[in-house]
Each structure stands twice: as C-alpha cells, then as structure tokens.
C-alpha cells in the first residue's frame, strides 16, 4: 500500500538546502500533484503552519512533516536524505538526516 504513494522520482538523495523552508520547497517540486487552489508556495506554507503547532522533527535524525487538505490529489510521500543532516527543532537537537514529507488528501484518491 505504501508503494502507491512513493516513486523513484520522489526520493531526493543528498539534498542541498540552506534551511528547512528551502528543503520543503525542493521536496514539493518533486510532487506530481495537480492542484486546484494550492500551489507549491501555499503548500509549503501549510506544512510550516502545521509544524508551528507541533514540531515534526522527532529526533534520531528523522522528521515527518505533513499536511492534509482536500485540494491535494493524489496523496504522496516525498523523501529527502542527506547524511550530513540539517538543524531543525528536533527533540534531541541532532541534525535531521531523513525527511518524510506526507502530502495527504482528505478525500479518497
């Protein structure tokens, strides 16, 4: 089931981003979604808004940002990996090395 949300072109190896927002922008560009009201910028804003409520950097080098919206179709998972990592507000304050971005629809795909 998870494979229907993943594809080779949605995995970014050795991401290069100056900050978390830039990383999210890079990740969203790998999306194959078609939007009605959402564009890449507003989608990143939704993810950051969600993150402000509760950080998604779990610790141990992993972050799980997500957004759920009825304008998203189809649901997707985009993965970014970098062995050096990036500083994001994680519970253990260790660099985040793998980010799973969940772009989820409130409707069935």
What confidence tens digit (pLDDT) does each residue in 14-69 have? 888 888 999 998 898 888 765 545 666 788 888 999 988 888 888 899 999 998 88
In this predicted model, what pLDDT tens digit does every residue of 64-107 receive, in sequence order? 999 888 888 888 899 999 888 888 877 788 889 999 999 988 87
Quote the CA–CA distance of 101 and 84 in Å, as a whole number: 19
Domain-wise residue ranges, the chain: 2-105
Q: Does 2-105 carry CATH code 3.40.50.720?
A: no
Neighbour count for residue 71 (Cβ, 10 Å) = 16
What pLDDT is recorded for position 97? 92
Average predicted confidence (pLDDT) for the chain:
83
């Amino acid at each position: 089931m998870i494979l229907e949300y993943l594809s080779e072109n949605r995995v970014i190896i050795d991401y290069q981003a100056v900050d978390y927002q830039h990383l999210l922008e890079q990740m969203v560009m790998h999306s194959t979604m078609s939007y009605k009201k959402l564009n890449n910028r507003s989608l990143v804003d939704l993810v950051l808004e969600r993150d402000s409520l509760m950080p998604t950097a779990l610790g141990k080098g992993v972050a799980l940002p997500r957004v759920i919206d009825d304008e998203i179709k189809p649901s997707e998972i985009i993965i970014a990996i970098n062995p050096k990592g990036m500083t994001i507000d994680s519970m253990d304050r260790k660099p985040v090395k793998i980010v799973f971005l969940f772009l989820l629809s409130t409707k069935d795909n």
